[in-house]
Amino acid sequence: MTTIQNADSEVYQGQFGEFTITESDRQGVIIYRAGLMAAALSFALGTLLVLKFASYAFVPVALNVLYICFSIGLAVSLLTIHIYLAPLHRALQAFWLAGTVAAIAIALTHSEPLALAVYHQPITILGIGFIFAALTGIFFKEAFCFNRLETKLLTPLVPLLLLGHLFGILSVPLEQVLLGLWAALFVVFALRKVVQPIPPDIGDKSVFVYLKQQAAVE
């Protein structure tokens, strides 16, 4: 994607023609990044509570609130992320919805708070894990598009921890290390997105136009 300067605005040369970036496009990227930041900070704070303050009575309720904030932030990001392949975009959104429905079902059918229910009943990961599959999809997209080290590490780390807990193959100390690493890398990722130029997150708009035209023809 190259930039052409003219008297009125920046015109970008895409693969299938020229395009401009509107204020609405920029606002969409800002909202996407804000959703990521909300999700990352909620996850990191929840991880801190789990690792350092797990014995306090308020923690389970606090984790429920933080999980809701995490889920909402992720939903916002999935609504505003720019992905060329529409089926993949819809699949990530469907994963989020499936994971959210599973989380609600787990919360309603278990007497324990959600976090404790998932920890004590690893089989629940088969349901709630879908929301983390959606998050992993974002990490994979960012790793592929921007070659970021933290997202390259997060892409395998998330399923490793979840599946490791599901099948009981990880020790508790190792799970704690992986959880802390996940939280730290997630925050690093969100912070680096804040200072990244906006146009790369918008991508080549001519590709979106082309794909939409192709879909209409079919």
Least confident of 33-37, 41-45, 96-100, 204-208: 204-208
Q: What is the DSSP letter of 112?
A: S
Q: If pLDDT is split at 50, 70 and 90, which confidence band does 5 have?
A: very low
> Residue 180 corresponds to which tokens in the numbers above?
């802390």
The residue ranges of DSSP E strands in 130-211, in sequence order, are none
When mean pLDDT is compared across 31-35, 86-90, 159-163, the lowest value belongs to: 86-90
Model pLDDT, residue 25 = 85
- The amino acid at residue 199 is P
- Per domain, the residue ranges of the chain are 25-196
- Whole-prediction pTM value? 0.90
pLDDT band at 4 (very low <50, low <70, confident <90, very high): very low
Contact 41/66 with Cβ under 8 angstroms? Answer: no
Q: Is residue 110 helix, strand or coil?
A: coil
Q: Tokens for 131?
A: 């929301």
pLDDT score for 216: 58
Counting runs of H as helices and runs of E as strands, what totals does the chain give?
A: 9, 3
pLDDT at residue 214, as a whole number: 61
Question: Which of 168, 196, 158 lies closest to 74 in space, CA to CA?
Answer: 158
Asked whether the beta carbons of 107 and 114 are under 8 A apart, the reply is yes
Give the pLDDT band (50/70/90) at residue 85.
Answer: confident
- Please give the order of strands across the beta sheet that includes 10-14: 2-5, 10-14, 17-19
